[in-house]
Structure 1
Amino acid sequence: MSNSNELGRSEVAELTGATIRYRDTGSGPPVVFVHGLLVNADLWRHVVPAVAAAGYRCLAPDWPLGSHSIPVPDADLTPTGVADLIAEFLEHLGLTDVTIVANDTGGAITQVLLARNPQRIGRVVLAAADSYESFLPQPFTLLPQFARFRGSARLMTELLRYRVIQRLPIALGWLSKRPVPAATVDSYLRPSRDSAAIRADLRRFLLHAHRRYTLDAATRFASVTVPVLAVWAREDKLFPVSFAERLVRDLPDAALELIDDSYTLIPEDQPELLTQRILEFTRLHATP
């Protein structure tokens, strides 16, 4: 469970087949954050306070991607299922003209959401994300095959107890340029380590993490009408800038901003620069 006080008060949303815990702070136009695999809302702990202070309501859920605290055994955890869960979350809270800010795996799910159910979305920030053939990216492409074996999630979460393992490319080493604080890593990894039900959720998602979902979403990019900002790490080791350039070419109203001195987890490596880009973009595309 996310534990950063900077994210605001803790709430729960009772959705179809899933209870989602989220943090809520600020007032004004809504900004909903979508994290990736094996992290939770704590990813946004250095972004949300400044965005909220600028006059926005920030909602940072713990999506069921392996670092959530409430098991969702009845939820559809395919990428389309998680995208539909986000759409239902927006509807449940009555949110409209929403800014979605997504990172890593959450960016892939957001692309699926845009292709399936964009009605409540006003604009999107993809802050380094899986896309096209890169879902999941190297070196994580074997995780879905690994997940087919019973006990695989338990083995993975036990190995990730060790800091030396956490800094390997197959863990956080190629995701963040600098080590993530131990307390935050613990917030990311403890739920799946401590709960067999959370590990079962993680395994169900991994079994369906396949590029066919992002490639299918991409076939419908031409119909996406909302503005999209791709914020990419120039040094990204998982998602080359060429993928961001491809997104910008294929989406009708898209722009690219590059960030220096960061890997994929831009909210960890360069939160101030990401916040600046989010605020500039939301002001540029504010609804009159």
Structure 2
Amino acid sequence: MRHDDHTTRADRLTTMKRVDTPTGVIEYADDGAGPAVVMLHGLLMDHEVWDAVIPLLPNGFRYIRPVLPLGSHRVPLDADADLTLDGMVRLVAEVLEALDVDDVTLVHSDWGGALFLTALGLDQRVGRLIILPCEAFDNFPPGLPGKMATLATRLPGGISLAAWQLRIGWLRRLPLLWGWMVNGPVDADQMRRWTAPVLTDPRIRRDVTKYTTTDFDAAELIRRTEALSGFDGEALVLWSPDNRVMPPAHGPRLAELLPRGRYVPMPGAAVLPMLDDPRTVAAEIGAFLTAARSGP
């Protein structure tokens, strides 16, 4: 196993780390020290989706943000890597193992595959869950944007066309693309960074297409989500009741499913509340983390 530091995007002087997994090399941001909080992201974005939240979170925790192979990663995975839904779930477990972190607080956003760690018996290193709006139950791919993205990746050149459209402001604001993902504007430079890998490297397109061309079975997706009833750790479901991509009813439903789940609504936010309202997201996550640390 290898951990090494390197600097990417010299203009922002962002220091990233790398770790070897059986599936390939994964980049990750690593801030702070203490109990591990692993923060995930969705399709065609990376760890930077959390940038506004990280400085507002409490000290005394280690905030790890892996870059999953969902199209904005810069390091291609192994050519024979299994990056279907099941393979991606296993990859999350591999990252936790490679980093040798236990009793992890795992934070889900947009991509909901890691909710299935419990169903696949791979959640031994997870102690608590924080669930922001994400895929769950049979909502894979999620809503209109998710279904359009999946359709695009199944067409020749479709993933590149979708990425180019995300770079054009008025197109990006359409419901088919990012119009329902956030309520405020999306930084154009940020979107260029997120779309650059999939536009410039065929190996990145190969990786993300492996995931987006997964065949989803609705009954199996529901069964796997409902396996969370066997997760006995504390859980915070921080859901946006006003968003039109992740069904509003899924937030309370997840909280009721989890034996120690608590539902907190975030009215006024969309799918990515860490972009719409980073202060509230940070306050809720921080309160959850510090209560868990001071608990019995």
Matched with 1:34 is 40
Identity %: 28
CA displacement, residues 75-103 of structure 1 (integer Å, 9 cap, x when unaligned): 21112211111111111111011111111
Residue 137, structure 1, aligned to residue 142, structure 2 = yes
d(CA) in 2 for partners of 1:5, 1:239? 35
- Match of 1:221, SS state, is helix
d(CA) in 2 for partners of 1:142, 1:10? 32
- Match of 1:32, SS state, is strand
Letter in 2 for 1:111: L
Matched with 1:112 is 116
Matched with 2:161 is 155
Matched with 1:18 is 24
d(CA) in 2 for partners of 1:198, 1:254? 36
Residue 210 of structure 1 deviates from its aligned partner by 2.6
d(CA) in 1 for partners of 2:131, 2:8? 21
* Long gaps (5+) in structure 1: none
Matched with 1:54 is 59
Residue 8 of structure 1 deviates from its aligned partner by 6.5
Matched with 1:277 is 284
Matched with 2:247 is 240
Aligned CA-pair RMSD: 2.2
Name which of structure 1's ranges 278-287 and 124-133 shifts more when overlaid on structure 2.
278-287
| Residue in structure 2 matching 1:78, options 84, 98, 123 | 84
Residue 67 of structure 1 deviates from its aligned partner by 0.6
Residue 26 of structure 1 deviates from its aligned partner by 0.5
Paired residues of 1:18 and 1:74 also in contact (CA < 8 A)? no
Letter in 2 for 1:207: T
CA displacement, residues 190-221 of structure 1 (integer Å, 9 cap, x when unaligned): 11112111112121111016354532312422
Matched with 2:258 is 251
d(CA) in 1 for partners of 2:257, 2:73? 33
Letter in 2 for 1:160: L
Matched with 1:262 is 269
Letter in 2 for 1:18: G
TM score, norm. by length of structure 1: 0.91
* Long gaps (5+) in structure 2: 1-6
Query: How many residues of Structure 1 are paired with residues of Structure 2 in the alignment?
Result: 285
Matches for 1:115-264 after TM superposition, within 5 Å: 115-116=119-120, 117-139=122-144, 140-208=146-214, 210=216, 212=218, 214-264=221-271
Paired residues of 1:98 and 1:121 also in contact (CA < 8 A)? yes
- Match of 2:143, SS state, is coil
Residue 150 of structure 1 deviates from its aligned partner by 2.8
d(CA) in 2 for partners of 1:118, 1:152? 35
Matched with 1:43 is 49
Paired residues of 1:177 and 1:262 also in contact (CA < 8 A)? yes
TM score, norm. by length of structure 2: 0.89
